[in-house]
Amino acid sequence: MTADDAGVRSPRVLSVAGSDPSGGAGIQADLKTFGALGAYGMAAVTALTAQNTRGVTGVSAVDADFVTAQIDAVFADINVDAVKLGMLGGPESVHRVADCLRRHAPPFVVLDPVMVAQSGDRLVEERTVERMRDELVPLATLITPNLPEAAVLLNEEVARTTAEMEAVADRLAGLGCSAILLKGGHLGGERSPDLFCGPGGAIWLDGPRIDTANTHGTGCTLASAAAALAPVATSLEVAVRAAKRYLGECIAHADALGVGGGNGPVHHFHDPAVRALRQRLLRASRA
């Protein structure tokens, strides 16, 4: 997508991820993020889950052949400006997705390596981690691991300080990805420091920790925001900064949603312009 295109059409962004029927994470969160940021969202489903704000009760993986078929169908007809990768399932699905990326070569690939549950439990087997590390990470424009996910990718202990985060980012860069956004939310404290490492070097992106229990889907939302913004930003750093700012606003307004009785979702459509559009349409329809 060229700079001239940016003023003519919306970026076209494909999410390859699992489905969350409660709408807070997965492809549902991705599509909400794309729409809120003015992108045209598409989705290839890799897994079906039974979950809500209280937890996950079931997972059914989509056959790797059909995952490939979905991705190929999109690229056969639509110029894709960016791809966001989330929950991908088993090692064969990871391999097939990597093959699709090599064949179709989208301009931007944002990888959110979903491998660890909020409880700390591993969600994928070691072979899946190996294929993600060896096949997907080198194809990524940007990877967005949190500290436990980074530890799994590197097969080491979880970083506990900002100094350890800097060392982790250096080792992640050795895996071959173009840029890294290492999320420091697991450090705790009053701040939420993330470390962006790109072509221009390492930059700390700091922000306040927002006091809310409604943080379901934050990882999906941040990666999706970066994917939606990268095709129209002047640099990847600008896209990442804007994505972090957007997520912070989504979290700050999360309590207003009041969805579910557990760890609720963030508010993707918090911007007053969305409510203004709704009211304008309703007023016009009463005429």
CATH number, residue 203: 3.40.1190.20
Q: Are strands 40-52 and 55-61 parallel, antiparallel or unpaired?
A: antiparallel
What pLDDT score does 185 carry? Answer: 83
Residue 234 known to be catalytic: no
Amino acid in position 267: H
Ramachandran category for residue 62: left, alpha or beta (phi over 0 → left; psi -120 to 50 → alpha): beta
SS3 content of the chain, % helix, strand, coil (to 5): 45, 20, 35
Q: Residue 155, SS3?
A: coil
Closest CA to 143 of 181, 107, 105: 181
Residue 53 known to be catalytic: no
Q: Can you give the pTM of this predicted structure?
A: 0.94
What pLDDT score does 7 carry? Answer: 54
Residue 212 known to be catalytic: no
CA pair distance 38, 137, nearest whole angstrom: 27
Catalytic-role residue among 46, 68, 144, 218: 218
Residue 219 known to be catalytic: yes
For 46, the enclosing helix (H) or strand (E) is strand 40-52
Residue 100 known to be catalytic: no
State which residues of the chain have pLDDT below 70. 1-8, 116-123, 287
Give the CA distances from residue 157 to residues 44, 66, 152, 168, in Å, rounded to whole numbers and listed in that order.
33, 36, 8, 10
What pLDDT score does 217 carry? Answer: 95
CA pair distance 18, 86, nearest whole angstrom: 7
Q: Which residue is it, tokens 């989705």?
A: 43
Closest CA to 219 of 110, 129, 100, 92: 110
CA pair distance 221, 87, nearest whole angstrom: 13
Q: Which domain holds residue 35?
A: 3-286
What pLDDT score does 9 carry? Answer: 79
Closest CA to 60 of 44, 47, 70: 47
What pLDDT score does 121 carry? Answer: 57
Answer for the pair 81, 88: CB distance below 8 angstroms, yes or no.
no
**CA-CA-CA-CA dihedral for 74, 230, 27, 146, to nearest 10:** 140
Q: Residue 265, SS3?
A: strand
CA pair distance 75, 237, nearest whole angstrom: 27
Catalytic-role residue among 18, 26, 184, 217: 217
What pLDDT score does 2 carry? Answer: 46
Q: 40: how many CB neighbours lie within 10 A of its CB?
A: 17
Catalytic-role residue among 100, 177, 197, 220: 220
What pLDDT score does 4 carry? Answer: 43
Which tokens sit at 209?
A: 């920790």
Catalytic-role residue among 68, 141, 144, 215: 215
The beta-strand segments (E) located in the chain are 12-19, 40-52, 55-61, 82-85, 108-111, 142-143, 180-183, 194-198, 201-205
Catalytic-role residue among 41, 219, 248, 264: 219
Closest CA to 224 of 79, 19, 2, 31: 31
Overall domain count for the chain? 1
Answer for the pair 232, 42: CB distance below 8 angstroms, yes or no.
no
Residue 217 known to be catalytic: yes
